[in-house]
Amino acid sequence: MSSRRSRSRQSAGSSRISDDQINDLVSKLQQLLPELRNRSSDKVSSARVLQETCNYIRNLHREVDDLSERLSVLLETTETSSAQAAIIRSLLM
């Protein structure tokens, strides 16, 4: 999938982006969003999906910020080795 194809060859109709492809990808995105997952696709517009996607990603960023803060505090008060071993064990088993 080259994203560097020469754009000088683009003329009307040969941009190869069809509505079907867009709708397909948009519905895949919709499945990832907890807000919109359960609604059927004919009721949710693509613009809405994109908007919700932005909101969702921002929420995730905020969660990461929040978790980082908590880790920052927790890191202070724990022994590295035992906690680390416990984490690795629980994540890998």
Partner 1 sequence: MDNQKLSTNPTSLKTRFALRFIRSLTRIKMANTPVSSMGTLRKRSQTIKLAADCSMASAVGSKRSWSRSALLKIRSRARLHAFAKEKVVTKKKKKCNRRDVGEVVIQQEVMGANELRQIVPGGESMEFLNLLKETAHYIKCLNTQVEVMQNIVDLYSPST
Which residues form the interface with partner 1 (CB under 8 A)?
A: 1, 3-4, 7, 10, 12, 15, 17, 21-22, 25-26, 28-29, 32, 46-47, 50-51, 53-54, 56-58, 60-61, 63-65, 67-78, 80, 83-84, 86-88, 90-93
Phi, psi of 7 (to 5 degrees): -80, -10
Minimum CB distance to partner 1 smaller for 29 or for 41: 29
User: Do residues 52 and 26 touch, judged by C-beta distance below 8 A?
Assistant: no
Q: How far is CA 42 from CA 38, 39, 86, in A?
A: 12, 8, 47
Minimum CB distance to partner 1 smaller for 22 or for 39: 22
Give the nearest distance from C-beta 63 to partner 1 in angstroms. Answer: 5
Minimum CB distance to partner 1 smaller for 40 or for 81: 81
Cα dihedral across residues 40, 46, 47, 52: positive or negative:
positive
